[in-house]
């Protein structure tokens, strides 16, 4: 080092730049790097592999490593300064672009890695909803306007890496409709890709499609309407359109009945689905015409509401609602209404169904029609069905003891016979106040069930209270004219005479009638008579108690005297019976001794007789047993012989049958074999033919004759020592031998 020089940086190792990496270098002074001129502030990359030799005019800013781009990936870059990218495309400051080439990518000096973008995998059931951030040309060569939205499906590409100017709104799943479904698309997109705002599109299954941006389903995917024979749907037109040959105006309502399948068009709104209501003869519904407002009752048929009808709910007073339920109990004559109305109300009653009430036997119900302003009375047993403008006449009767008004609420009027009990306070002529509990038997006398007589039944609203007041008034008037002692002795006669009255003969009548409503009182029962004043009650009770004690003592003395008398009579009978029993015992003892003596004599003679009889009986039994044994043995031998004979007979018969069957089978077998041999020989002869047989039979002699002719021998005789030849007959034999041959040949020829 020269004087004045010093080391600014100690000796350091050179930087080795590996592959897929680079050093970002920045110039701090202007200088020339080979043929290229560097200006202060310029930046460039020293890419590896290599060894970087530093210079004083520049500094190493950072080390950059390459980004690895995999399949279906891209790297997003941003330009920090105007520059040219790796493909020598000019880039302006702030511009972003994508590099989709697979492999390692080393960004340039003025390039900044924004991030790694992965591709969206598209399937047949998934699409990509994309929105444009600015006007540009996409990867498919289509110019997209700023804010435009579109779908990218599998038909366009299997994978899609969003452009830097594309914003992915989300993934859209496919909409699938079966052949039993449909949907209505709101704001559908036309063929040019523009949404038709306010329009609707009906899509029927079977179909699969993607909802385009801006489209949405009205009420989602809906099932088509499958209508049976007893079903229908009410429709309303949203706008004017032609339905077949009918022109529908907005607001028109009509009904379609089954059986059929129906898919509503976009011009139609489905209001409701109707089901036919099956009604028995004792069932019905209230139907209201929405055009005229008229309400009617439909009964005893299967009815379906049309487009101008609806079910009408009939409201009843809370008390009537409760009594409709409680009065159906068979043992309840009248139901007492004391609680709030909602406690008796039938919460489960369908108000659109016709109100029915079972009128019990021997009862009547009055029904008033507020429209026609007339009433009708129904006698039981009968089923009452209310018309839309009819209401039950509610009976408010007196009840309790004593009677209080408006205690009992009822719908039906019992015609009796029945009874009611009341407590009446009366005062005698000597000012003794008494409380009477009286029970009346009553019934309604109904000679004819016409409208006039029936109307009389309900002419008195509270017939119980009215009758009890009238009877109580008569009883008070009659009791006020007699003394307490007289009333106490003749209370029943006084009360009956006061209520029923006396006839011309002075006898008590047998009934008390009310002409207003034909109510008849037939009998009166005085259940109890008690003084109201406590002192009178105590005195009366004391006198009654003394009377009871006197009666009791008298009865006790009488019973004691009677018991003593009965005891003395029983003691006398007992002594007399004792003497009689002793005499009878002595008599029986005498008879016993006589019987014992006779028994001893009989016993001594009877024992010998019994032994002799037993021995004779034993001998007889042994003889009979021997005879029976011999008979049984003979029968057994006979049975064995017969069974053996039968067995041998069956064996011989079976053997004879077997031999005959065997001989028959042998005969059949021999016959079949002979037939087979004959057929075989016949077929062989037929197959060989007569000419062949003739040639075979004459082949040997002819050959010998030809051989002798060839040797020139006219005749010859060859023999040996073992076969002598008669020369006298040889010639004739030779001559005779030729004749049969000729005959045979002729016979064969004839056969041919």
Per the structure block, which two tokens stand in for 297?
A: 């009752």
| Predicted confidence (pLDDT) at residue 718 exceeds the cutoff of 80 | no
Q: For position 15, what pLDDT does the model report?
A: 85
Whether residue 479 lies inside any domain: the answer is yes
Per the structure block, which two tokens stand in for 311?
A: 């079910």
| CB contact at 8 A, 242 and 248 | yes
Q: For position 725, what pLDDT does the model report?
A: 56
| Predicted confidence (pLDDT) at residue 416 exceeds the cutoff of 90 | no
pLDDT band at 264 (very low <50, low <70, confident <90, very high): very high
Q: For position 328, what pLDDT does the model report?
A: 45
Q: For position 226, what pLDDT does the model report?
A: 93
| Predicted confidence (pLDDT) at residue 234 exceeds the cutoff of 90 | yes
Give the pLDDT mean for 524-537. 81
Span of 153-162, 189-198, 605-614, 641-650 with lowest mean pLDDT: 605-614
CA gap 335, 328 in Å, rounded: 10
Domain count, the chain: 4
Q: For position 717, what pLDDT does the model report?
A: 62
- Is the same domain home to 335 and 394? yes
Q: For position 550, what pLDDT does the model report?
A: 87
In percent, how much of the chain has pLDDT > 70? Answer: 91
- Is the same domain home to 412 and 424? yes
CA gap 607, 599 in Å, rounded: 12
| Position with higher pLDDT, 623 vs 752 | 623
pLDDT band at 133 (very low <50, low <70, confident <90, very high): very high
Q: For position 397, what pLDDT does the model report?
A: 92
Q: For position 710, what pLDDT does the model report?
A: 78
Whether residue 614 lies inside any domain: the answer is no
- 631-676: pLDDT as tens digits: 999 999 899 998 899 989 999 899 899 999 999 999 999 999 999 9
- 28-64: pLDDT as tens digits: 888 888 788 888 888 888 888 988 888 888 988 888 8
- Is the same domain home to 398 and 484? yes
The pLDDT mean for the chain works out to 85
Smallest CA-to-CA distance from 356 within 381, 324, 329 is with 324
Whether residue 385 lies inside any domain: the answer is yes
Whether residue 274 lies inside any domain: the answer is no
- Is the same domain home to 388 and 414? yes
Q: Nearest 5°: CA angle at 173, between 169 and 179?
A: 150
| Predicted confidence (pLDDT) at residue 517 exceeds the cutoff of 50 | yes
Whether residue 455 lies inside any domain: the answer is yes
pLDDT band at 576 (very low <50, low <70, confident <90, very high): confident
| Predicted confidence (pLDDT) at residue 119 exceeds the cutoff of 90 | yes
Strands (E) located in 276-355: 284-289, 295-299, 309-311, 335-336
- Is the same domain home to 324 and 419? yes
Whether residue 597 lies inside any domain: the answer is no
- Is the same domain home to 531 and 554? no
Q: Mapping DSSP to helix (H, G, I), strand (E, B) and coil, where does residue 148 land?
A: coil
CA gap 261, 224 in Å, rounded: 7
| Predicted confidence (pLDDT) at residue 8 exceeds the cutoff of 90 | no
Per the structure block, which two tokens stand in for 40?
A: 């202060």
Smallest CA-to-CA distance from 519 within 441, 574, 597 is with 441
Domain CATH number, residue 2: 2.30.30.550
Per the structure block, which two tokens stand in for 206?
A: 């079977």
Helix, strand, coil tally for the chain in percent (to 5): 35, 35, 35
Q: For position 297, what pLDDT does the model report?
A: 94
> Who's near 438: CB < 8 A, 6+ residues apart?
421, 422, 423, 424, 471, 475, 495, 524, 525, 526, 527
Span of 58-62, 139-143, 688-692 with lowest mean pLDDT: 688-692
pLDDT band at 339 (very low <50, low <70, confident <90, very high): very low
Choose the final residue of a domain: 571, 591, 618: 571
| Predicted confidence (pLDDT) at residue 338 exceeds the cutoff of 70 | no
CA gap 64, 23 in Å, rounded: 6
- 349-376: pLDDT as tens digits: 889 999 999 999 989 999 999 998 899 9
- β-sheet bridge partners, residue 128: 152, 171
Q: For position 10, what pLDDT does the model report?
A: 79
Q: For position 179, what pLDDT does the model report?
A: 92
pLDDT band at 702 (very low <50, low <70, confident <90, very high): confident
- Is the same domain home to 550 and 481? no
DSSP code of 563?
H
- Is the same domain home to 506 and 543? no
Choose the final residue of a domain: 65, 98, 114: 65
Q: Mean pLDDT: which of 302-306, 431-435, 617-621 is highest?
A: 302-306
- Is the same domain home to 541 and 439? no
- Is the same domain home to 394 and 490? yes
Q: Mapping DSSP to helix (H, G, I), strand (E, B) and coil, where does residue 656 land?
A: helix
DSSP code of 671?
H
CA gap 259, 748 in Å, rounded: 97
Whether residue 737 lies inside any domain: the answer is yes
Span of 132-136, 166-170, 451-455, 462-466 with lowest mean pLDDT: 451-455
Whether residue 482 lies inside any domain: the answer is yes
In percent, how much of the chain has pLDDT > 90? Answer: 40
- Is the same domain home to 441 and 541? no
Give the pLDDT mean for 666-692. 88
Q: Is the peptide bond before 524 cis (omega within 30 degrees of 0)?
A: no
Q: For position 336, what pLDDT does the model report?
A: 44
Q: Which domain holds residue 20?
A: 1-65
CA gap 323, 328 in Å, rounded: 8
- Is the same domain home to 563 and 426? no
> Who's near 300: CB < 8 A, 6+ residues apart?
279, 280, 281, 282, 283, 284
Span of 144-153, 256-265, 741-750 with lowest mean pLDDT: 741-750
Domain CATH number, residue 493: 3.30.479.30
pTM over 0.85: no
Q: For position 740, what pLDDT does the model report?
A: 43
């Amino acid at each position: 080092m020269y004087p004045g020089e010093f080391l600014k940086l100690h000796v350091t190792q050179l930087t080795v730049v590996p592959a897929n990496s680079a050093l970002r270098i920045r110039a701090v002074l202007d200088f020339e790097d080979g043929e290229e001129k560097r200006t202060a502030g310029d930046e460039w990359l020293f890419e590896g592999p290599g060894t970087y030799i530093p210079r004083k005019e520049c500094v190493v800013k950072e080390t950059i490593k390459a980004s690895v781009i995999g399949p279906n990936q891209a790297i997003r870059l941003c330009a920090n300064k105007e520059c040219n990218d790796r493909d020598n495309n000019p880039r302006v400051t702030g511009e972003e672009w994508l590099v989709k080439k697979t492999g390692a990518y080393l960004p340039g000096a003025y390039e900044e890695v924004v991030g790694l973008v992965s591709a969206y995998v598209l399937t047949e059931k998934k699409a990509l909803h994309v929105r444009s951030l600015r006007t540009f040309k996409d990867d498919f060569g289509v110019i997209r306007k700023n804010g435009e939205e579109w779908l990218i499906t599998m038909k366009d590409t299997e994978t899609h890496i969003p452009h830097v100017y594309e914003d992915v709104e989300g993934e859209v799943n496919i909409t699938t409709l079966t052949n039993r479904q449909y949907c209505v698309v709101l704001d559908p997109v036309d063929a040019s890709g523009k949404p038709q705002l306010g329009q609707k599109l009906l899509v029927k299954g079977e179909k699969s499609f993607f909802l385009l941006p801006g489209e949405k389903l009205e009420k989602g995917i809906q099932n088509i309407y499958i209508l049976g024979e007893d079903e229908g749907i009410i429709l309303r037109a949203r706008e004017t359109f032609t339905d077949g040959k009918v022109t529908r105006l907005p607001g028109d309502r009509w009904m379609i009945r089954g059986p059929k399948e129906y898919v509503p068009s976009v011009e139609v709104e489905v209001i409701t689905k109707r089901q036919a209501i099956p009604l028995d003869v004792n069932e019905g519904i209230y139907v209201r015409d929405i055009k005229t407002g008229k309400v009617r009752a439909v009964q005893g048929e299967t009815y379906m509401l049309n487009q101008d009808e609806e079910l009408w709910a009939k409201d009843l007073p809370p008390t009537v609602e409760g009594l409709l339920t409680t009065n159906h109990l068979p043992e309840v004559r009248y139901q007492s209404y004391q609680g709030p109305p909602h406690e008796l109300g039938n919460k489960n009653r369908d108000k659109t169904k016709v109100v029915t009430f079972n009128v019990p036997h021997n009862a009547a119900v009055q029904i008033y029609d507020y429209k026609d302003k007339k009433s009708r009375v129904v006698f039981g047993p009968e089923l009452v069905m209310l018309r839309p403008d009819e209401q039950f006449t509610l009976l408010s009767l007196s009840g309790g003891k004593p009677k209080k008004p408006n205690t009992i609420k009822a719908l039906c009027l019992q015609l009796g016979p029945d009874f009611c009990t009341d407590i009446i306070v009366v005062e005698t002529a000597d000012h003794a106040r008494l409380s009477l509990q009286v029970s009346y038997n009553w019934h309604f006398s109904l000679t004819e069930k016409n409208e006039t007589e029936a109307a009389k039944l309900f002419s008195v609203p509270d017939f119980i209270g009215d009758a009890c007041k009238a009877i109580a008034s008569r009883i008070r008037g009659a009791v006020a004219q007699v003394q307490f002692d007289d009333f106490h002795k003749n209370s029943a006669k006084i009360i009956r005479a006061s209520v029923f009255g006396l006839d011309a003969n002075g006898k008590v009548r047998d009934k008390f009638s009310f002409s207003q409503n034909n109510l008849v009182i037939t009998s009166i029962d005085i259940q109890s008579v008690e003084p109201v004043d406590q002192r009178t009650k105590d005195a009366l009770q004391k006198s009654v108690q003394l009377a009871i004690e006197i009666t009791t003592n008298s009865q006790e003395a009488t019973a004691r005297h009677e018991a003593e008398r009965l005891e003395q009579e029983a003691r006398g009978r007992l002594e007399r019976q004792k003497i009689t029993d002793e005499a009878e015992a002595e008599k029986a003892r005498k008879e016993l001794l006589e019987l014992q003596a006779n028994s001893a004599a009989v016993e001594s003679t009877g024992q010998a007789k019994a032994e002799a009889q037993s021995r004779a009986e034993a001998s007889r039994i042994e003889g009979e047993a021997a005879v029976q044994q011999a008979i049984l043995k003979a029968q057994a031998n006979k049975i064995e012989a017969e069974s053996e004979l039968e067995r041998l007979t069956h064996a011989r018969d079976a053997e004879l049958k077997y031999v005959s069957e065997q001989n028959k089978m042998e005969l059949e077998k021999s016959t079949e074999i002979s037939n087979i041999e004959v057929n075989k020989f016949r077929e062989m002869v037929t197959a060989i033919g007569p000419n062949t047989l003739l040639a075979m039979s004459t082949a040997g002699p002819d050959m010998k004759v030809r051989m002798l002719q060839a040797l020139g021998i006219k005749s010859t005789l060859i023999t040996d020592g073992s076969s002598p030849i008669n020369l006298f007959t040889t010639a004739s034999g030779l001559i005779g031998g030729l004749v049969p041959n000729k005959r045979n040949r002729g016979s064969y020829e004839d056969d041919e």
